[in-house]
Amino acid sequence: MVKEVQSQAKERMQKANEALQRDLAAIRSGRASPALIEHVRVDYYGTPMPINQLATVAVPEARLLAIQPWDRQAVALIEKAIQKSDLGLNPSSDGSVIRLVIPPLTEDRRKELVKQVHKRVEEAHVAVRNVRRDALEELKRLEHGRQISEDELHRAQEQLQKVTDSAIAEADRLGKGKEAELMEV
C-alpha cells in the first residue's frame, strides 16, 4: 500500500517536471526551435490543429524556422495563427514556405522572459507540493483505517519528503538552465 502511494506520487511529480520542461521549451530564446510554435493552433477547416500536424517544421539556420505546409491552402491560415499568437514574430511567405526569423532578444525582453521562467518554475513547485499533499492525505487515511502503523506512516512521510525535495530540485535545475539560455548573448 505505502509503496503504491509513493510510486504514484513520484510518477505524478515526474509528470509535473515534464510539463515544466515542455513549457520552458516554448519560451522564446535567441535561437530557433520547433518547440517554439508547438502551442500555436491553426483554425484548419473549423478545427484547431497544431502546426506540426499541418506542416513540416525545420530549423535551417540558428535564427530561422522554415514551415512547409502539406496543403497550400494552409499557408495563409498558418501565417494568420502565428501573427495572432503571443510570439511577437512576423512570418514571411513565398506561397509555399513560411519563414520565421527569430530576432535577437533585447535586454528588457530577456528579463521579462526570465520572469516567465520563474513563474513557470513556481507553478511546477506548487504542482509537486499538491502531489505531496494528496499522497500524505492518502497515507494518513491508510493509518486511520489501521492498514499501516504509525511508524510506517512516519517512514513513508520522510521518504515522500525526499522525493518531493528531489522533484523540486529538478524543477529548479530546469529553470536555471532556461534562464542561462535566455541571458546568453
* CA–CA distances in Å: residue 162 to residues 2, 6, 158, 165, 169: 15, 11, 6, 5, 11
- pLDDT digits 0-9 by tens, 87-140: 778 899 888 899 988 888 788 888 888 999 999 999 999 999 999 999 999 999
pLDDT at residue 160, as a whole number: 93
Residues in CB range of 46: below 8 A, 6 or more apart: none
| pLDDT of 154 above 80 | yes
pLDDT at residue 90, as a whole number: 86
Average pLDDT over residues 47-63: 89
Q: How many whole angstroms separate alpha carbon 182 and alpha carbon 141?
A: 45
Tell me the pTM.
0.73
Question: Reduced to 3 states, what is the DSSP secondary structure of residue 40?
Answer: coil
Q: Does domain 2-25+106-183 have CATH number 1.10.132.20?
A: yes
Show me where the domains of the chain are located. Answer: 2-25+106-183, 31-101
Cell numbers linked to 110: 530577456
Cell numbers linked to 149: 502503523
Q: Does domain 31-101 have CATH number 1.20.1260.10?
A: no
- pLDDT digits 0-9 by tens, 20-36: 998 888 777 777 788 88
Q: How many whole angstroms separate alpha carbon 172 and alpha carbon 174?
A: 5
* Inter-residue long-range contacts of 18-23, CB under 8 Å, 24+ positions, other chains counted: 19/124, 19/127, 20/120, 20/121, 20/123, 20/124, 20/171, 20/174, 20/175, 21/174, 23/120
> Given pLDDT bands bounded at 50, 70 and 90, which one contains residue 185?
low
pLDDT at residue 15, as a whole number: 94
